[in-house]
Structure 1
Amino acid sequence: MRCLRPRADWGTEAMAIWTVHAPDGDLAAANAADRLVFVREGFSWWALAVPFLWTLRHRLWAVFVGWALVALAIEVVDRFGDPTVATVIGAAFALWFAVSANDLRRWTLERRGLRLVALAQGANRDEAELRFFAGTAGETHPFPSATPPAAAAPSAPSAPRRDLPPIVGFAGLTRGTP
């Protein structure tokens, strides 16, 4: 009989990327006011299982209205058209909504004035928050504002600008690698 030895990576969760959103201003002030929002990248099982409750829990009013209108249109197709077509459209819409749910949440946060300020990596939200705050400890500089300064003169063309900030707490790449 073969003896199974425990592997070093058993029991570890897959690491996920979380986007960190905050209003313009100082990091310490945003943290003190509890205005930082962490949104996980990827598929949302809750948005697949109970999309109406998921949208209401995250206060995504425009997304809820859009979801309700599409659900109503699918119901009309089911009632007055082919029920098989309505089932296929409904399943496809539910899967699309679950895949896009966190992107719709980021869109709503941006509309409310919260900007993407960092990316954090962690197995869960608590770990991502710990890594984010450990990586930004002691920083009191203001986040860059959404609008560029008016006095800035156009400069010579340079390398393409990366819009996304570095991932805080990501140990997979060393500094200086693209």
Structure 2
Amino acid sequence: MTASFLILTPPGEPAAAENATFIRDGFRWTAFFFPALWLLVHRLWFWGAIALVLQFAAMILIASPELGVAGWTLAIAVSLLTALEGPLALAKAREARDWTLRSVVVAHDLETAEHIYYSEHAPQRPPSTAATASLPASDTSTKAARPPALGLLGYDGE
């Protein structure tokens, strides 16, 4: 199954920085089961505090016989919202601290995403002179166009 990876680099770092952060944009099971804790671990303090308050309110509502369904609905909504939008909130928080969103890569896993990203952002090297020196000189002595040899060695077109 493929996933999108958001690639962010710290302030002032080039695109091919070794300390680039790859954030998988997708559903997070840990964020679903522990929304407030997941947000707080990832230093999303404001959203973590809101999720904590909403989870506490959901527990109070669940304890009430008349409002139990509303409590479960609130608890599931907080969990779903955190699991689905948590990675994007993490990326936005880094962008607010001057991190740069460099690219979005679609890959099967993190290792493949890193390979794709770093192969696209590797520093360009000039072509090697050893590779071009080993090629034979072209035959410019005759002006007539020769038909292709079709894989027959020694066939000179006559």
TM range (shorter): 0.5 to 0.7
RMSD, aligned CA:
2.2
The count of residues paired between Structure 1 and Structure 2 equals 123
Q: State the partner residue of 2:2.
A: 15
Equivalent position SS for 1:113: coil
Structure 2's unaligned 5+ residue stretches are 125-158
C-alpha separation in 2, matches of 1:89 and 1:55: 17
Residue type at the aligned position of 2:46: A
Find 2:84's aligned residue among 99, 116, 133: 99
Say if 2:34 is the partner of 1:50. Answer: yes
- Structural mapping, 1:140-155, within 5 Å: none
- Structural mapping, 1:53-72, within 5 Å: 53-72=37-56
What is the Cα deviation at residue 78 of structure 1? 3.1
What is the Cα deviation at residue 29 of structure 1? 7.9
TM-score of the aligned structures, taking structure 1 as reference length: 0.60
- Structural mapping, 1:19-168, within 5 Å: 19-27=6-14, 30-31=17-18, 34=19, 36-79=20-63, 82-138=67-123
CA, structure 1 residues 66+20, in 2 after alignment: closer, same or farther (shift >3 Å)? same
Residue type at the aligned position of 2:32: L
Seq. identity, %: 24
C-alpha separation in 2, matches of 1:56 and 1:30: 27
What is the Cα deviation at residue 138 of structure 1? 0.4
The answer to which structure has the higher helix fraction is 2
Structure 1's unaligned 5+ residue stretches are 1-13, 140-178
Equivalent position SS for 2:105: strand
